[in-house]
Structure 1
Amino acid sequence: MRAWAVVEAKKPLQEIELPTPEPTGKQVLLEVTHAGVCHSDIHIWEGEWDLGSRGKMRLVERGVKLPLAMGHEIVGRVVKWGPEAEGHGLAVGQQRIVFPWVGCGTCARCRAEEDNMCVQGKALGVFQNGGYATHVIAPEPRHLVDPGNLDPALAATYACSGITVFSAINKVMPMDPDTPVVLVGAGGLGLQAITVLKALGHRRIVSVDVSAEKLAAARQAGATDTVEAIGEGTTQRLVAACGGPVEAIIDLVNGTETARFCFDALTKGGKLVQVGLFGGEMTLPLPLMAMRALTVRGSYVGSPKELRALVKLAQGGGLAGIPITREPMRNADSALQRLREGKVVGRIVLTAEAA
């Protein structure tokens, strides 16, 4: 198979030949037709995460091996499967969304379909080859979801940005639909979050970003209020836009600066859900955590159950699309660099030549 792979950290992706995997056991081999370009791919390409005062977490020390075909927002066509996958309704040519956040497959978390919480994570596009390639292996048929009549380019984004925001939103719900929910970041995740909140019937959505262009896209997607996070006073502007301290904030950037202004904007009993991987750290005033009964928690992508629920919501017609830019797979490196430079509104989705 061909892959557009990270061969060396921070160097251009290279088109290389790799052995096409032969499915065994429950595995399913798919021919990739669509692969979204996610901000997490930038960190994988860089080879490290910023942990603030704890230094850098280098991915090679976590088991990431190069060369690696990244890409975890995948739609493909079924090609063949292992003998243990028989009887699961598979057919050659079926188009399927591939759930990428797979684990060991045998622990209690995986058996409960909470694969994303497995401590032995083996995510596609991170610990094994993903969608920046002509073929990909899904570990089990249950990791495949039928997109139905959905646009496959949009459906691919549901495997990461879609379930990531869906899972994070679930962590602040239920809420009165007119109580502001703040979304920090108006990129692909932020726009997906707006569409999911609207589909769930939420009416007050506040988008925060440093880019006027992305805030305009957020308003077009349905944000009721926007806040520009440039210079001093972001907390004050955010509180003013919400009509007071905030009950729920989802930080889709999650850097040192955003974490601080988010925390400072919370009301008593408020929740901050940290999603993004920008990097850095935050220092919490511990007495305030107790006195104000605050919740600060992380949210890591989503589960196969959440992917199926999200796709069902989209198939019902209640979930609007986000801006999608299609690029041929051979443009994987330039697409990644455009995203790194902050020049992408919505999502770039790489497509196979014949897709």
Structure 2
Amino acid sequence: MARRLPRRLRARRRLHDRPGRRLRGVAERRRGRLPLPHGRHGDRRAARRVRHPARPGRGGAAARGPHRAAAGRAAAGRGARAAAGRRTGRRRGARGAARLRQRRPRRQRRAGLGLGRHRSGRGRRRRDGRPLPALALAPALTRAGRCPARGPILCGASRGAAHRVPPDRAGTRSVMTSTTRAAVLYRANEPHRIRELQMEDPHPGEVVVRVGAAGICASDHHVMQGMTALPLPSVLGHEGAGTVESVGPGVTAVQPGDRCILSFVSNCGHCSSCRRGRANLCDTNAATGARQYDGTTRLTDPEGVGIPQMGKLGVFAERLVCPIQACYPVPDDVSMEAAALIGCCVTTGVGAVVNTPELQPGSTVAVFGCGGVGLNVVQGAALMNAARIIAVDIHDHKLDFARGFGATDTVNARDVDSVKAVRELTGGGADFSYDVFGSPETTRNAVDSLGKGGTAVVVGLAGVEDSAPINLVDLVRAQKRILGCYYGFVSPHETFRTMVDLYRSGRLDIDGLVQRRYRLEQIDAAYAVLARGENGRGVIVFD
């Protein structure tokens, strides 16, 4: 019986039998280039770790092609990493490590790839030496929340294209632009400037909306007066509605042609507030402010200055780019003007009442301030079947107008003490009071007008540094409560659905709120009328 040859001798015999095929390591040792092996597998490991010098007359590693040169560099790097792993006690075992080093280059060569330095694809090359695009391979996500190939990822967003933020404009992404006409506020207490702005196409998760109507709200007026902090220059306007013109990559919730209410809180759905059901208090939306979710702007003025958009909207423009989260589709029988007002004053006012905890039919309600939001608080109290609805303001014509929306009693705070008047009308104090104006005086009066166990809800926004003097002893002994209410207490889209249903059923009068209509060029005149305290709401209409 013939004796079986040792393994190394069988390899040498195969080498002689097949001269066209060179067994790695054996041929080099025969030429005297590699040291003799120690151990059973030492020859293979040594052959893979040693970088062979160039053959005479054939050039170095660079002459053999860029992908082979990259392979050599990567092989050397893998050898160093393997040695470091052995020093720290992390090793796969001799046989497993050898197999891993043997298979990885072969698999990548079959795919037409050289060996790169990063999983994102940067540094990898095709067989002809041309580099591969970074987006051709699935990127590796780091703990810092960034994607090396595609830039930062939204807070808590999924890995889908709809939530991934593209790289900065200085990167490789080509930016397509169009134009929009908008009213830009460059400085507080100065008129708006109607300008033609460059507008980027929507990024992933964004849409382009052609604005149909925009409401004239006091919150914008606070920015114009410098009472509210907002980066300037900016396009103001947060109460609006329009028609979707185009959508960015990954957007499926709406399509071009959809008529939508626009929410000035584009909730991310993944932050702590969103997970707790408080989408109106979204942390990510508050952190990014007037810029889009990736921290950049979509509008640029002729001087090259980036223009933020109030509430990520900026509805004082003919066209805008906004997150898909801002859009709530509505039926065709909801007018653009009504949809625009649902976007802010109706949801803020009616929502503050219908979503107030423990408000029961038969309660007594006092409303301080009868502007656009105050009138909707009155309507909300009427919807909740309040026994008495007391409207408080300093203009008689606004009090008379409030009676048309459900006010049962009116108090002119210029003529009488509003706190005493409310307590007399309710027999000791109101069950619920709403400060819609937003000032230290009106907040204090709203709390003082409550009866025992009453609840004061602060809806209006005061100045940044304002504070209200509250009687703390009365607050404790009468067990009063003070609540802040932002955008109707709950998710704006949930309140939108309720408001649309009430409007279509005829139980909510929104058309009657619209008293004045303007063009975009008349924006400063519209806010002058607002400052005078005229009835109802003004609306900017677009073609």
TM-score by length of 1: 0.88
SS at match of 1:221: coil
SS at match of 2:538: strand
Q: What is the distance in 2 between the residues matched to 1:193 and 1:133?
A: 29
Q: Which runs of 5+ in 1 are unaligned?
A: 50-58
Q: What is the distance in 2 between the residues matched to 1:113 and 1:269?
A: 27
Match of 2:503 among 301, 310, 314: 314
Look up the match of 1:185.
Answer: 369
Structure in which a larger fraction of residues adopt strand: 1
1:300 and 2:466 aligned: no
More displaced 10-residue stretch of structure 1: 272-281 or 203-212: 272-281
Q: Which runs of 5+ in 2 are unaligned?
A: 1-179, 291-308
* 1:130-154 CA-partner distances (Å, limit 9, x unpaired): 1000112231256323154122212
More displaced 10-residue stretch of structure 1: 196-205 or 208-217: 196-205
Using the TM superposition, give the Cα deviation of residue 207 of structure 1 relative to its aligned residue in structure 2, in angstroms. Answer: 0.6
TM-score by length of 2: 0.59
Look up the match of 2:62.
Answer: none
Look up the match of 1:83.
Answer: 249
Look up the match of 1:345.
Answer: 535
SS at match of 1:253: coil
* 1:229-255 CA-partner distances (Å, limit 9, x unpaired): 115522111112223311100110121
Using the TM superposition, give the Cα deviation of residue 105 of structure 1 relative to its aligned residue in structure 2, in angstroms. Answer: 5.4
Using the TM superposition, give the Cα deviation of residue 296 of structure 1 relative to its aligned residue in structure 2, in angstroms. Answer: 0.8
Aligned pair count?
A: 337
Look up the match of 2:456.
Answer: 272
Q: What is the distance in 2 between the residues matched to 1:273 and 1:309?
A: 21
Alignment of 1:1-355 (within 5 A): 1-49=180-228, 59=229, 64-86=230-252, 88=253, 90-103=254-267, 106-110=270-274, 114-120=278-284, 121=286, 122=288, 125-126=309-310, 128-140=312-324, 143-231=327-415, 233-279=417-463, 280-302=466-488, 303=491, 304-321=493-510, 322-324=512-514, 325-342=516-533, 344-352=534-542, 354=543
More displaced 10-residue stretch of structure 1: 105-114 or 318-327: 105-114
Q: Evaluate the alpha carbon distance shift between residue 126 and residue 115 of structure 1 in structure 2; reply closer, same or farther with a 3 A threshold.
A: farther
Whether contact under 8 Å (1:274, 1:299) holds in the other structure is yes
State which structure, 1 or 2, has the greater radius of gyration over its C-alpha atoms. 2
Look up the match of 2:86.
Answer: none
Q: What is the distance in 2 between the residues matched to 1:248 and 1:158?
A: 23
Q: What is the distance in 1 between the residues matched to 2:389 and 2:442?
A: 18
Q: Evaluate the alpha carbon distance shift between residue 117 and residue 247 of structure 1 in structure 2; reply closer, same or farther with a 3 A threshold.
A: same
* 1:160-211 CA-partner distances (Å, limit 9, x unpaired): 1111113321453443433211111111111122223323443421111000
Alignment root-mean-square deviation, CA: 2.1
Whether contact under 8 Å (2:241, 2:262) holds in the other structure is yes
More displaced 10-residue stretch of structure 1: 64-73 or 4-13: 64-73
For 1:318, give the aligned amino acid.
R
Q: How high is the sequence identity, in percent, across the aligned residues?
A: 29
Larger relative contact order, structure 1 or 2 (CA cutoff 8 Å, min sep 6): 1
Using the TM superposition, give the Cα deviation of residue 91 of structure 1 relative to its aligned residue in structure 2, in angstroms. Answer: 3.0
